[in-house]
């Protein structure tokens, strides 16, 4: 967590530096080509796939995500088809699975249990996060061309400010929001490619959802997340 905190502080420090560098580049390359930037707003829909699950845990039901945010584009060549970008966004994700997250009455500590199929109606946890995407961008765009190919890759940092685990069975519903073993700082790699409106988007989490303190039958819960979906960009 300390490492990720340093990354966030570095981003805050370097954004003004990038803005100043971009102004200098615009003065070096004046004209129409130096005025346009790409993909300032993004909207995305993903299907969330859990990986690294313990032996008794499996994914069930629909698991989806919605992602939205703003990007600041920093072209780094005269043609402006190669760029760096930094952004600020918001994500909501849900994960259906059979990992029950409860709380001990004596000391309010979390405990984890594998649910048997058929003994419950639904079980899922949901998250909401603030995201900071960092991208390296290549595209076939120009100041007059609005339909083009793009390949964007990079990392996405996030902080989960909302977590909720919900268990539902006939006549019973249990919610858990305070899980100290949950890793609220998230980091992952992203890859987006496509043409014009429709772009395929992939994300893979580099750190598990839960810390080493989360145990199921004496084993760690090293679940991570892989997302696949569509990303839409608005100039």
Residues 39/197, Cβ–Cβ less than 8 Å:
no
Classify the phi-psi angles of 61: left when phi > 0, otherwise alpha if psi is within -120 to 50, otherwise beta: left
User: In whole angstroms, what is the distance from residue 94 CA to residue 66 CA?
Assistant: 9
Mean of pLDDT values over 41-54: 94
CA distance 124 to 212: 21
pLDDT confidence tier of residue 234, bands split at 50, 70 and 90: confident
Going by the DSSP 8-state scheme, the letter that residue 32 receives in this structure is G
Residue 132: both structure tokens together? 């900071």
Structure tokens at 165: 């685990």
Q: How far apart are CA 223 and CA 233, in angstroms?
A: 30
pLDDT at 13 over 50: no
- List the chain domain ranges: 2-234
- Give the model confidence (pLDDT) of 188-223 as tens digits: 999 999 998 889 999 999 999 999 888 888 888 999
Q: Residue 120 — φ and ψ, nearest 5°? A: -155, 160
What is the structure's pLDDT at 143?
76
Q: Containing H/E element for 178?
A: none
For the ranges 45-59, 103-117, 127-141, which has the lowest average pLDDT?
Answer: 103-117
Q: Computed over its alpha carbons, how large is the radius of gyration of the chain? A: 21
pLDDT in tens, 115-149: 988 788 899 999 999 999 999 999 998 777 778 89
* pLDDT (0 to 100) of residue 34: 56
* The two structure tokens encoding residue 231: 């990303």
Cβ distance 26 to 37 under 8 Å? no
Res 3: pLDDT: 46
Around Cβ 6, how many Cβ atoms within 10 Å?
A: 10
Contacts of 47 (CB under 8 A, 6+ apart): 63, 64, 65, 227, 228, 229
């Amino acid at each position: 967590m300390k490492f990720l905190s340093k990354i966030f502080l570095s981003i805050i420090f370097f954004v003004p530096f990038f803005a100043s560098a971009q102004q200098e580049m615009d003065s070096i390359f004046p004209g129409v080509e130096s005025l346009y930037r790409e993909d300032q707003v993004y909207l995305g829909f993903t299907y969330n796939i859990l990986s690294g699950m313990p032996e008794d845990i499996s994914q069930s039901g629909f698991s989806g995500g919605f992602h939205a945010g703003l990007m600041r584009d920093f072209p780094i060549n005269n043609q402006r088809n190669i760029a760096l970008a930094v952004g600020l966004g918001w994500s909501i994700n849900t994960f259906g699975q059979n990992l029950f997250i409860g709380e001990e009455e004596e000391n309010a500590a979390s405990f984890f249990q594998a649910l048997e199929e058929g003994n419950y109606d639904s079980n899922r946890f949901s998250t909401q996060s603030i995201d900071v995407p960092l991208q390296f961008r290549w595209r076939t765009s120009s100041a007059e061309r609005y339909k083009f190919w793009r390949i964007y890759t990079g990392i996405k940092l996030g902080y989960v400010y909302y977590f909720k685990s919900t268990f539902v069975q006939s006549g019973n519903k249990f919610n858990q929001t305070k899980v100290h073993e949950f890793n609220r700082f998230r980091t992952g790699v992203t890859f987006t490619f496509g043409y014009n409106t429709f772009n395929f988007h992939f994300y893979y989490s580099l750190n598990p959802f839960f810390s080493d303190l989360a145990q199921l039958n004496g084993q760690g819960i090293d679940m991570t997340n892989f997302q696949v979906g569509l990303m839409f960009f608005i100039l």
